[in-house]
Amino acid sequence: RPISLMISTHGGAASDMFSILDVMDMIKKRTCDIETHGIGKVMSAGVPILAAGTPGKRKVGKNCRIMLHNVLAGTGGTIFSMENELEEIKWVQERYIECLAFYTKLTKSRIKKLLKTQKDVYISAEEAIKMGIADEII
């Protein structure tokens, strides 16, 4: 039987998101389908998780708001520590974009263009279907 995953989140840490995506991919490959259900709000790190469900089984509530934005981070310390952290932040941003492109109909260049606005990008349930983040409105 498929696993059903309800998602309503403001987002969270990128490392946690990447861990969840890896587990979802392992389960889909070895065990069963994963149905994802976006309800209420699905923001930031929650968006790739919603999109990572089994294609055809990714659902979103008609009133759900989906939000994408650039990776948020902060650092302090020596210039060398900050340079090191900046490189890691760039890697996380690029990997976030790659994950979205892999699980959706969006290209990396389209995602980068959306994020280039430097503000939160809110998406309706209908837009999420067109972008391939979800397959069906519930």
Hey, which residues are catalytic here? 44, 69
| Neighbour tally for 126: CB within 10 Å | 12
Q: Say which residue the tokens 């089984």 belong to.
A: 57
